[in-house]
Amino acid sequence: MMSVSCILVRDTLYICVMEQPYILAIESSCDDTSAAVIHGQKVLSNIVSVQTAHAAYGGVVPELASREHQQHIIPVVDAALKGAGVTMQDLDAIAVTRGPGLLGSLIVGVTYAKASALALGVPLVEVHHMHAHVLAHFAEAPYPEFPFLCLTVSGGHTQIILVNGPLDMEILGQTKDDAVGEAFDKTAKMLGLPYPGGPLVDKYAQQGEAIYPFTLAKVPELDYSFSGIKTAILYFLRAGIKEDPEFIKHNMNNICASVQQALIDMLMVKLKLAAQQTGIKDIAIAGGVSANSGLRARLKSDGLAADWNCYIPDFEYCRDNAAMIGIAAYFKYLKADFSGQDMTASARMEF
C-alpha cells in the first residue's frame, strides 16, 4: 500500500503522495468492458473486451450490453491486474465511470467498483466519462499545456471544451441535437453498411473524392447541429437511387468522402472560431470519432496553418477505455476527491 500524508487547506483536503498510487479503473458506460491499472500517471495495463453481439441488431441493445458486462467484468479485471503485475491487495484506490452512459451498463461497473473498494478498504473515485476522454491526453507525453481546447467527438457527444486544469473544464459549445458520431453511423446505415458503420465510412472515404456538396448548418456561436445534414444525406441518396438504382454501389467511395468532408468542415469551423476567441494555441481532440483519419489529418493541416500545437490521442485512447478513467481518477485522488458507498450510476450526468 502507498504511503501518504494529508493536509487540510481552507476546508480542502489534499493528499501528499510519498509513493505513486496504484489505481484500478473500470469503464462500462456503453458496450465495451474495460479495466486498467494506473501507477501514478503511468498506464500499466489497459484491457478492453469488445461486445460483438450488437452487430446483428444494427446498434447497441442496452439490455444485452449490461448482460455482457456482467459476464466480462471479472475476467477483464483479472487480465488487467495480471498485465500490470499487481494484485488486488496492492491497490490504493478503485476508480469507475459513474456516467453518462447506458444505465444498465454503468450499474455493472459501479457495483463492482463499490464492492471492491469496500472489501479492500480503499477510496472509491467516481469519474465523468467525458472528463476522462479529455484527460486521456495525459496518459502519454507530450501533454497539452493548460489552458487548452479539446474537441470531444463521439456517438453521444460533440463539444468544444475549455480545459483550465485537470478538474476545471467548461463547455464553450456543443451540439443542439445529434452528435457527429451518430451522423457518421446513420450515414453508414443509409448506405447499407454494417454496424458499427462510422469506421467503414472513413475507410471508403480514403478511396474517394469529395465531389458531392452538402449545405452546412448555420448554428449561432460555438454550437453544432447535425440533424439537418442527416436529412440532407437521406434526400441526396433517394434522388441518386431514383436516377440509378445502383447509385450507392457505383459511388460508395465518393459519397463517403463527401459526407466525411462535410462533417469535418462543420467541426473545424467552430473549433477555429473557439481558438480565435480564446487566443489558445494548444488544441486537442478526444472521443471515438477522434480516430477518424480525415479528422486527424485535417487537425494537423489546419493546425499547422494556424500555428497550433495539436494533440491527437493514440488509437488506444480514442475509444472507450479504462486507462482514461484511471488518469482522471489520479488527478481526483491527489485532491482526495472520493465518493461514498451511496454513490450511484447516472445515465445523464452533468458535465
Residue 168 CB contacts under 8 Å (≥ 6 apart), including other chains? none
CA distances (Å), origin 142, targets 282, 307, 322, 327: 12, 17, 20, 15
* Residue 147 CB neighbour total at 10 angstroms: 16
Average pLDDT over residues 278-290: 96
pTM for the predicted model, two decimal places: 0.91
Are residues 25 and 35 in contact, defined by beta-carbon separation less than 8 angstroms? yes
Q: Are domains 4-135+319-334 and 145-313 of this chain identical in fold?
A: yes
Average pLDDT over residues 306-314: 95
pLDDT tens across 63-76, in order? 888 999 999 999 99
DSSP letters, 247-305, are HHHHHHHHHHHHHHHHHHHHHHHHHHHHHHHH---EEEEESGGGG-HHHHHHHHHHHHH
Write down the mean pLDDT value for the chain.
93
The residue extents of the domains of the chain are 4-135+319-334, 145-313
Dihedrals phi, psi of 236, to nearest 5 degrees: -60, -45
CATH 3.30.420.40 fits 145-313, yes or no: yes
Residue 7 has what pLDDT?
A: 42
pLDDT tens across 134-173, in order? 999 999 999 999 999 999 998 889 999 999 999 999 999 9
Residue 87: closest CA among 50, 116, 115: 116
Can you read off the three cell numbers belonging to residue 7? 493536509
Say which CATH topology domain 4-135+319-334 has: Nucleotidyltransferase; domain 5 (3.30.420)
Distance CA(7)–CA(301), nearest Å, equals 47
pLDDT tens across 31-65, in order? 899 999 999 999 999 999 988 888 777 788 888 88
